[in-house]
């Protein structure tokens, strides 16, 4: 199943989820990423996404997320980390 995913990197609910994970993981951005990716992968499996579909979405969404961070430094300034 290829689900039409609405990617919303700067919507309030998305930012609240990010902040919740960030706080829950002791402000460790790598641990927060791991927690959010774990939940995203389970959610993807629940709706039947294949690994290939997840990879396609991840590529597109990563570019959009990086652009959002650059364009909205007022929101993401405290989270900004250089790409690895």
Q: Which residues contact 24 (CB under 8 A, 6 or more apart)?
A: 32, 35
Question: What is the band of 77 on the pLDDT scale with cuts at 50, 70, 90?
Answer: confident
- Residue ranges per structural domain of the chain: 12-76
pLDDT at 67: 92
Tell which wins on pLDDT, 6 or 79. Answer: 6
pLDDT in tens, 25-70: 999 999 999 999 999 999 999 999 999 999 999 999 999 999 999 8
Note the pTM of the prediction, 2 decimals: 0.79
Count other Cβ atoms within 10 Å, centred on residue 13.
8
- Kindly tell me the number of DSSP H helices and DSSP E strands found in the chain: 4, 0
User: Which among 8, 73, 13 is positioned nearest to 21, based on CA atoms?
Assistant: 13
């Amino acid at each position: 199943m290829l689900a039409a995913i609405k990617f919303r990197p700067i919507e309030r609910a998305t930012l609240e989820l990010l902040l919740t994970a960030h706080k829950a993981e002791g402000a460790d951005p790598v641990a927060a990423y791991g927690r959010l990716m774990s939940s995203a992968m389970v959610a993807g499996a629940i709706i039947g996404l294949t690994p290939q579909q997840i990879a396609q979405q991840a590529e597109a969404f990563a570019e959009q997320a990086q652009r959002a961070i650059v364009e909205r430094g007022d929101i993401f300034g405290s989270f900004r980390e250089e790409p690895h």
